[in-house]
């Protein structure tokens, strides 16, 4: 399944890059092309920078697909998770709710699990725990999405590098052969145009997808907050005072000097 997905992504990336190259190499309608070039020849005309630009096009498509899946409601707030936890809350079985959240991880159940485990520490601890876990889930979503912004910045720079190298070749051709060899000069100029246009063709959708997925992730986190506010409204925190829910190890103990004073006091009384 993964191989099939990667092949589809590769084909789509190739189509994306080829479309950009073809658009860059097209001539005006009224101008007749002197030499007909195949698409592969147009890609090769872009020079060595077409290799990293092609890799960036594949990464762009992969990151967009991954971001859409990561920020979707079915992944962030699955309906079956929501209904199961709601049923446990209605029954007052918070231990079962904790165990279900731990056995079925998702951004929603991760936040809910942390909040339930802190019920014995009071409302302030529960709210702080929710915010900390939401921040962690946001970081997990934004990590891959942020790479789209990096691609949006790097792709035009790589294309610009191809522009510079193409211009260097063009001036070298002019310096050595003058204008007597127009084919060599046109090849260098073609490298300039194709590399620049291809870099921009990758950068524009990468930036658009970055802002779209960033807002989509923010909305998903707000949906989790709304559900958590509904679940924890009117929670009887006084009934949970001193109770520890969950199987996390409690490492902190009483200070050793307090324990020593408690042990010495009975001996002094005798």
Show the tokens assigned to 249: 């190890």
Q: Does position 216 have pLDDT exceeding 70, yes or no?
A: yes
The reply to whether 105 falls in a domain is: yes
Q: What is the pLDDT of residue 183?
A: 59
The reply to whether 267 falls in a domain is: no
CA-to-CA distance for 58 and 79, rounded, in angstroms? Answer: 32
The reply to whether 88 falls in a domain is: yes
Q: Does position 11 have pLDDT exceeding 50, yes or no?
A: no
Q: Does position 22 have pLDDT exceeding 70, yes or no?
A: no
The reply to whether 19 falls in a domain is: yes
Torsion sign (Cα): 39, 149, 143, 109: negative
Show the tokens assigned to 67: 């971001």
Q: Does position 150 have pLDDT exceeding 80, yes or no?
A: yes
The reply to whether 262 falls in a domain is: no
- Structural domain including 72 reads 2-25+34-247
The reply to whether 257 falls in a domain is: no
Angle (nearest 5°) at CA 229 between 115 and 146: 75
The domain tally of the chain equals 1
- Per-residue CA distances from 159 to 73, 144, 200 (Å): 37, 23, 7
pLDDT band for 124, please (50, 70, 90 cuts).
very high
Q: Does position 134 have pLDDT exceeding 50, yes or no?
A: yes
111: Cβ contacts below 8 Å, ≥ 6 apart: 130, 133, 134, 137, 224, 228
| Cβ atoms 244, 154 nearer than 8 A | no
Encode pLDDT of 221-265 as tens digits.
999 999 999 999 889 989 888 888 887 777 877 787 775 666 555
Which of 1-5, 114-118, 219-223 is predicted with the least confidence, judged by mean pLDDT?
1-5
pTM for the model stands at: 0.71
Show the tokens assigned to 176: 């050595």
Q: What percentage of the chain's residues is helix, strand, coil (to nearest 5)?
A: 80, 0, 20
The reply to whether 252 falls in a domain is: no
With both helix axes pointing from N to C terminus, report the angle between 182-231 and 2-25 in degrees, rounded to the nearest 10: 130
pLDDT band for 175, please (50, 70, 90 cuts).
low
pLDDT band for 113, please (50, 70, 90 cuts).
very high
The reply to whether 233 falls in a domain is: yes
Burial class (CB in 10 A: 0-12, 13-18, 19+), 194: buried
């Amino acid at each position: 399944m993964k191989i099939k997905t990667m092949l589809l992504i590769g084909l789509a990336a190739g189509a994306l890059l080829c479309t950009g190259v073809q658009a860059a190499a097209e001539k005006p309608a009224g101008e007749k092309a002197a030499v007909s070039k195949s698409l592969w020849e147009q890609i090769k005309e872009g020079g060595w920078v077409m290799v990293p630009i092609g890799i960036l096009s594949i990464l762009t498509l992969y990151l967009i697909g991954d971001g859409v899946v990561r920020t979707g409601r079915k992944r962030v707030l699955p309906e079956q998770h929501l209904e199961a936890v709601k049923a446990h809350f209605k029954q007052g079985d918070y231990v079962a709710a904790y165990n279900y959240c731990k056995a079925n991880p998702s951004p929603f159940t991760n936040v809910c699990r942390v909040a339930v485990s802190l019920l014995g520490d009071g409302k302030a601890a529960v709210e702080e725990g929710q915010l900390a876990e939401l921040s962690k889930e946001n970081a997990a979503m934004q990590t891959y999405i942020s790479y789209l912004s990096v691609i949006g910045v790097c792709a035009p720079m790589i294309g610009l590098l191809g522009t510079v190298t193409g211009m260097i070749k063009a001036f070298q051709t002019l310096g050595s052969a003058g204008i007597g060899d127009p084919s060599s000069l046109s090849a260098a100029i073609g490298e300039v145009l194709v590399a620049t246009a291809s870099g921009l063709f990758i950068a524009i959708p990468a930036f658009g997808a970055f802002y779209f997925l960033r807002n989509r992730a923010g909305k998903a986190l707000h949906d989790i907050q709304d559900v958590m506010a509904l679940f924890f409204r009117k929670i009887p925190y006084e009934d949970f005072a001193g109770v520890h829910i969950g199987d996390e190890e409690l490492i902190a103990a009483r200070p050793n000097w307090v324990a020593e004073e408690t042990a010495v006091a009975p001996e002094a009384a005798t």
